[in-house]
Structure 1
């Protein structure tokens, strides 16, 4: 089940990356057990899909173990979280986690409604809450643009 879900997410991720980073060279996407790895000139992702039992994450959690973008503050992180919400909903995940966050990724996760989870700066939130936060932020942005 874990590797099957990882392959499904990899297929969706490949489409997402080609759409989002059409001018970027991809260095590789791969699945190894319950992990998905993708990196290119402009991005790097490492996801834990259906984490193994007995750890801090349960099987209903889609975990971002690493996320990075060459250019920051361009909306790539937000777009990626929208993508993960879609994947999580499609594949039946109810939670999204971020593993071992640093100052920047923790601030990003908290803005999206994730909360502290266990040791080592982990964050966790429900897919529903993240989707609501993303939707609320989008509506605020649209209203602000209309007001200008």
Structure 2
């Protein structure tokens, strides 16, 4: 099984546990993009894209939506990504093409602007520290 497929399995386990579905639908395409969409969430990730634009070993959140907001789903998702970073050898998490909501989310967790105002990035090390000290 390829690494990205194993990551999707772990992501599916997280989503099933968090949102109480019997199954999740996270899957990868041939370009190493991952999508997971149900009524409660809509996620689209770029799994370690080639380091043309983003830093090497980055997971890029291209779309993040949770039906219920302000209940900790975004924070839990970031914790999931941090907890699995060693297993899958990525060092950064980025958010691309942010809207106002995702900009507030990225600011809340210490992401910094990357190359243009609508993109942000943070190292796993820094995010881990922020999450450990977050109330």
Distance 1:104 1:24 in 2: 29
* C-alpha deviation, 1:23, in angstroms: 4.5
Distance 1:42 1:128 in 2: 29
- Are 1:122 and 2:129 counterparts? no
- Pick one of 37, 40, 44 that aligns with 2:38: 40
Higher mean Cα deviation, 104-113 or 65-74? 104-113
Query: Retained in 1: the 8 A contact 2:45–2:61?
Result: yes
Moved over 6 A (4+): none
Give the aligned partner of residue 81 of structure 2: 84
Distance 2:63 2:3 in 1: 18
TM-score (norm 1): 0.83
Query: Retained in 2: the 8 A contact 1:69–1:76?
Result: yes
Give the aligned partner of residue 59 of structure 1: 56
After superposition, the C-alpha distances for 1:2-52 in whole angstroms (9 at most, x for unaligned) are x933212101101001100114875x3221131110001100100111102
Aligned residue pairs total 134
Q: Secondary structure at the match of 2:121?
A: strand
Distance 1:119 1:77 in 2: 23
- Are 1:10 and 2:8 counterparts? yes
Distance 2:3 2:23 in 1: 25
Q: Secondary structure at the match of 2:130?
A: helix
5+ long unaligned stretches in structure 2:
none
Greater share of residues in helix: 1
5+ long unaligned stretches in structure 1:
142-148
Query: Pairwise mapping of residues 66-105 of structure 1 onto structure 2 (< 5 A)?
Result: 66-105=63-102
Point out the structure with max Rg over C-alpha. Answer: 1
Give the aligned partner of residue 133 of structure 1: 130
TM-score (norm 2): 0.91
